[in-house]
Amino acid sequence: MTDHLIAPHGGTLVDLLVDAERAAELQAASRDWPSWDVTERQLCDLELLLNGGFSPLQGFMTRTDYESVRDDLRLNTGVLWPIPITLDVPKELAGQLEEGSMLALRDNEGVMLAALHVEDVWEPDRRAEAKQVFGTTSPEHPGVAYLESCHPFYVGGRLEGLQPPIHYDFRELRNTPAEVREGFGRLGWRRVVAFQTRNPMHRAHQELTLRAAKDAEANLLIHPVVGMTKPGDVDHYTRVRCYQALLPRYPHNTARLSLLPLAMRLAGPREAVWHAIIRKNFGCTHLIVGRDHAGPGSDSTGRPFYGPYDAQELLKEHEEELGVTMVPFRMMVYAEDLDKYVPDDEVPEGARSLSISGTDLRRRLAEGREIPAWFTYPEVAEELRRSHPPRHKQGFTVFFTGLSGSGKSTIANALLVKLLEMGGRPVTLLDGDIVRKNLSSELGFSKEHRDINIRRIGFVASEITKNGGIAICAPIAPYDSVRREVRRMIEPVGGFVLVHVATPLEVCEERDRKGLYAKARAGIIKEFTGISDPYEAPTVADVVVDTSETLPEEAAQQIILQLEREGFIAADRSLL
Ligand code: PPS
């Protein structure tokens, strides 16, 4: 029923899953083999190797294939393949393996997914790989950063699959190449345009996919990546709900949605060719390739890693050999006077065109501002709003730092009460002393222990923040680097305000409410912050207060104003 479809890359659709009998045999034999718990990226690669998404590959690349792919975009056999598919492992494991060894590949719960027949173990030149594959060695490129952090040895060889990786989400949309092909066969689709995306789809995307399908006289496979995309992208749960909300807006029976568990490399031009190969394996005849397809954007100086149409050019070069037609598209913009979307170079002279960038959309969501209907359908906007509530509904952390006796706890308590009085969000106070009695009761005051303590507080605060609550933390937190670490942990999931309680040491010591300074001076308490242990004052505090000059409730009010300025507390209280 699927014979009429485009042939897979290399001619045959690979299926590496073995039958139950062989699986049991491998499972039993694995008792004597070394094991490797695959990383998140390796898990994605493994899934597409096992189900034929990476046909004609039969396993992780051996050295000769890897070098040939790296330098010439081809496997040893001459078949086009632009991206290394490698299994990186640490030195200790590599030392246990040689040609002819067996390696059990397991998921992070220890379930055995595949057996690797080791053919090659080597230490790759990762710099050369970065240069050839990504065209840069800059660690600002996420693909290069990954290479720099991965394990130093590669292991290549043929795979036998025991079972595919387990997923519990959107199961009906997680289809193998064989299942997608089967579906096309049933629907009588022969020409299919694939649309690759790692972002939510709005009306511009719908217009361009409809146009592409119409121009190619083909049906449409919306094939979003749900494996690993660019750090900071909208999470795949939200995106898939957006795609599902959009799907009924397509003409009946012309578009299908299926999820691709791909770990993107963001390799731009090479990645575009790879995407075409993968979609060919899923039975697609066309691939839509836009501006800066699968690129990571620009570096910190604003220089793009790839030219806007490099990806289109490289795929064009290989289009005929592959048999997959590239459907190029330009930016679609909304022409207000025409009340429709058109490519940016087709906007009539003098007409006003509108678009909303990703950054602008994020800002609108954060501020709870309107998302216009010309930009996205209301049901898609609703999904995005649910996952990206405006700032005044998001969680946040207020993190105090300062010497013992500086007034942290007093201000923290005043702030706690003010926030409870406002209501709307649950508030948790993680005071230094309370944490030390509960969460960190076994820790002392060495740098190592203090850092562990702050990391624990940061972890709890980030969970509270992520779930829409307010965490007030009031430890001494004398070290800058771990404070920064906590900020980095929390900022992606909500607000973070660092408050430096900068009451001078003399004042704290004179107050000596707990009598600890006297003990520290007498040498009874060792490693006491400010006396016999360092305190690194923050250079980037959001609020600085000094309780020798400011009353606790005034200080709490300053923090509230800062939170208002950042939008985490609505200036208009009726919004709470
Ligand atoms: S840290 O550095 O952030 O892990 O410290 P923290 O968890 O906030 O604990 C500080 C409280 O413990 C008491 N204490 C000490 N502080 C500093 N140095 C030493 N050696 C020490 N020994 C005990 C002190 O009461 C601190 O509480 P606060 O509320 O800051 O006065």
Residue-wise pLDDT tens digits, 461-470: 999 999 999 9
Q: How confident is the model at residue 1 (pLDDT cuts 50, 70, 90)?
A: low
Output the residue whose Cα is nearest ligand 1's atom 28: 404
Instruction: Determine the average pLDDT of the residues in 345-371.
Output: 88
The encoded tokens of residue 327 equal: 């459907």
Residues with CB under 6 A from ligand 1: 404-405, 409, 432-433, 435-436, 445, 450, 453-454, 475-478, 514, 516, 525, 527-529, 533
The encoded tokens of residue 561 equal: 């104003």
Output the residue whose Cα is nearest ligand 1's atom 30: 404
Ligand 1 atom having least distance to the Cα of 440: 7
Distance CA 521, CA 504 (A): 17
Helices of type H across 282-389: 310-322, 358-367, 378-387
pLDDT for residue 211 is more than 90: yes
Q: For residue 174, give the 3-state DSSP assignment.
A: coil
Distance CA 41, CA 59 (A): 15
- Is 126 one of the catalytic residues? no
Of 273, 296, 300, which Cα lies nearest the Cα of 143?
A: 296
Cβ neighbours, 10 Å, residue 19: 8
Q: How far is the CA of 452 from the centre of ligand 1 (A)?
A: 13
Output the residue whose Cα is nearest ligand 1's atom 8: 475
Output the residue whose Cα is nearest ligand 1's atom 26: 404
Q: How far is the CA of 404 from the centre of ligand 1 (A)?
A: 6
pLDDT at 62: 98
pLDDT for residue 532 is more than 90: yes
Of 555, 509, 562, which Cα lies nearest the Cα of 532?
A: 509
pLDDT at 2: 72
Distance CA 356, CA 482 (A): 37
pLDDT for residue 398 is more than 80: yes
Q: Which amino acid is at 499?
A: V
Mean pLDDT of the chain: 95
Q: For residue 279, give the 3-state DSSP assignment.
A: helix
Instruction: Determine the average pLDDT of the residues in 385-406.
Output: 94
> Per the omega criterion (within 30 degrees of 0), is the bond before 56 cis?
yes
Query: Domain locations in the chain?
Result: 20-161, 171-333, 391-565
pLDDT for residue 573 is more than 60: no
Strand pairing report for 495-501 and 396-402:
parallel
- Is 211 one of the catalytic residues? no
Q: How far is the CA of 537 from the centre of ligand 1 (A)?
A: 16
pLDDT for residue 575 is more than 70: no
Annotated binding-site residues read: 402-409
Q: How far is the CA of 470 from the centre of ligand 1 (A)?
A: 23
pLDDT at 349: 86
Instruction: Determine the average pLDDT of the residues in 141-164.
Output: 96
Distance CA 438, CA 334 (A): 57
Which listed residue (86, 197, 229, 503) is catalytic?
197
Cβ neighbours, 10 Å, residue 18: 18
The class that CATH gives domain 391-565 is: alpha beta
Q: How far is the CA of 403 from the centre of ligand 1 (A)?
A: 8
Distance CA 157, CA 496 (A): 47
Please check whether the two domains, 20-161 and 391-565, share a CATH topology: no
pLDDT for residue 571 is more than 80: no
Ligand 1 atom having least distance to the Cα of 405: 31
Distance CA 480, CA 401 (A): 10
Output the residue whose Cα is nearest ligand 1's atom 7: 432
Domain 20-161 listed as CATH 3.10.400.10 = yes
pLDDT at 572: 67
pLDDT at 330: 78
- Is 197 one of the catalytic residues? yes
Distance CA 569, CA 550 (A): 22
Backbone dihedral angles phi then psi of residue 6, each to the nearest 5 degrees:
-55, 140
Cβ neighbours, 10 Å, residue 358: 13
- Specify the fold of 171-333: Rossmann fold (3.40.50)
pLDDT 10s digits, 80-132? 999 999 999 999 999 999 999 999 999 999 999 999 999 999 999 999 999 99
Ligand 1 atom having least distance to the Cα of 478: 2
Distance CA 476, CA 465 (A): 21
pLDDT 10s digits, 436-459? 999 999 999 999 999 999 999 999
pLDDT at 152: 97
Ligand 1 atom having least distance to the Cα of 453: 4
pLDDT 10s digits, 276-316? 999 999 999 999 999 889 999 999 999 999 999 999 999 99
Percent share of the chain, pLDDT over 70: 99
